[in-house]
Amino acid sequence: MAHVALPTPGRALCLTVVAAALGMLGCQPEERPAGLPSSFVPCRIGGGSQEGLCGEVVVPERRTGPDAGRTLALRVAVLPARQKGPADPIYFLAGGPGQAASRAFVPMLPALRDLSRDRDLVFVDQRGTGGSGRLACADAVDDGLGDDDALHAALSRCARAWQSEVDLEAYTSVDAAEDLEAVRAALGHERVNLLGVSYGTRLALVYLARHSERVRTATLDGAMPTAMVLPVAAPVDAEAALDRLFADCRADPRCDRAFPELAARFAGLLASLDAAPAKVTLADPRTGRPRATVVGRTLFAKALRSLLYSAELSALVPLVVDRALASDFAPLVSAATLVGDAAGADLAVGLFFAVVCQEDLPRVDPDADRRARGTFLGRSVLDDLERACAAFPRAPLPEDFAAPTRADAAVLVLSGELDPVTPPRWADEALRALPNGRSVVVRGAAHNVIATGCAPRLVRDFVAAGSAAELDPACLEERHRPPFFVDFAGPPP
């Protein structure tokens, strides 16, 4: 179920390479930033080989009401700047919701190395993730081939267990934003630079709305403003990304010749799977063992959507659709399972549902059903969330939760042109009341673009200048969608 819920940081680099690269980023234990609490001790960031400094900041689980008083400890990791200086630090906010910042950003750090030259990098594991009381449920992680009934039953069991230990109503973006403010104060930072990815952009915007005087810059990779209602937006945005893919294939003579009338044939495939799901035996891509699977419309649609998160993997879509039309589902299921494994490995599913069930599902409008039914995903996202959220409590949202964020801080929003979940239209929404904000669209890219091409340099220049006004994004506008696969030999050289 985890991958149903949309934004997650995407492609991971080889951790071995990352661990080696961190040697260029890190610090020696004696290089303590000024003001860092003495309780912060040497640690290994995200399982890598480089030592940073880690500690805990204790915060109230609830800040108001009769239940105020119980506390929780947030894990915070710091990579000190390579050069000493007065520059304001960068706080990294992870996606999901449910990923831990101390792990999620490790693969991106080599690309973002320049940010650490004269700024401390701070990674706060959001409450309910990583080292901050991770709400994990091993039996409820969906690999794309699982039994939905068994997955939901496992999630319900976990939800009951969590509620005996924590107050799930206090696991929202607003609570996390106040936690972030507590960490800032504890570390002695007057102002900070925020860098959020996917869901982390929502957290950044909520923090900016509540503590704008503390924010110097905010970099948002894949904007997810509070105005976005995930189960409403998900099928519409995924449909737009797939329509664009089919149009691009039709405009590519090689792809169109290999897969003529692909959009119409895809619609026919969905109809046939809806009427008569395919009972197949596939080799599990992780173990190689045979596994009986029923491929219906919903499973197929979810698996296909997961490939759209990556521009490189989406290049496989025409080929895997063509193979499915020949009753060969192995290519799609194998690719989607590996994507699901990567996305869900560190995801705290409890935090995911605690946030989405309180912030998004209650705001589904009456017309959402009609709009969803006209897409390839149909009601699958909404159905999954309605079923899962039955096990989770819901506290009322602040009345102004979905209001546009208003602040004077400099904001840079990066969006992938092909993104199926946080496309550029949400950047425009996020910037509605941010006069010093700017949207930059990365051509030929999908979800999570901050490590793509010249984007790291653009972010470095933005943070250094404290303004997006003079940025030149031409280097990102010259990119193109990766060429389509027409067979398993790969795209043309």
Co-location of 212 and 237 in the same domain: no
How far from the centroid of its chain's Cα atoms is residue 143's Cα? 17
Last residue of a domain, which of 321, 344, 367? Answer: 344
Question: β-pairing, 410-416 with 437-442?
Answer: parallel
Residue 399 is which amino acid?
E
Burial of 149 (0-12, 13-18, 19+ CB in 10 A): exposed
- 442 phi, psi to nearest 5 deg: -95, 115
Residues with Cβ within 8 Å of residue 120, at least 6 apart in sequence: 33, 78, 79, 80, 81, 89, 90
Confirm whether 48 is domain-assigned. yes
152 belongs to a structural domain: yes
Q: What is the pLDDT along the chain (493 residues), one digit of tens a residue?
A: 333 333 333 333 232 233 333 333 444 434 688 889 999 999 988 766 667 899 999 999 998 876 667 899 999 999 999 887 778 999 999 999 999 999 999 888 888 889 989 999 999 999 999 999 999 998 876 666 666 788 889 999 999 999 999 999 999 999 999 999 999 999 999 999 999 999 999 999 999 999 999 999 999 999 999 999 999 999 999 999 999 999 999 999 999 999 999 999 999 999 999 999 998 887 776 677 887 888 999 999 999 999 999 999 999 999 999 999 999 998 888 877 777 665 556 799 999 999 999 999 999 998 888 889 889 999 999 999 999 999 999 999 999 999 999 999 999 999 999 999 999 999 999 999 999 999 999 999 999 999 999 999 999 999 999 999 999 999 998 889 999 999 988 777 6
Query: Between vectors from CA 75 to CA 70 and to CA 79, what angle results, nearest 5°?
Result: 155
> How many folded domains does the chain comprise?
2
Q: Which residues, at least 6 apart from 352, have a Cβ–Cβ distance to it below 8 Å?
A: 2, 5, 96, 97, 98
Looking at the structure, do residues 237 and 182 belong to the same domain, yes or no?
A: no
378, part of any domain: no
Task: Please check whether residue 423 lies inside any domain of the structure.
Answer: yes
- For position 413, which CATH number holds? 3.40.50.1820
Domain contains 383:
no
Residue 391 covered by a domain? no
| Strand spans (E) along 24-114 | 41-44, 51-60, 71-79, 90-93
Of 122, 116, 103, residue with least CA distance to 23: 116
Kindly state whether residues 271 and 293 are assigned to the same domain. Answer: yes
Q: Are strands 278-283 and 90-93 parallel, antiparallel or unpaired?
A: unpaired
Residues 73 and 167 in one domain: yes
Strands (E), 387-488: 410-416, 437-442
The residue segments making up the domain with residue 303 are 230-344
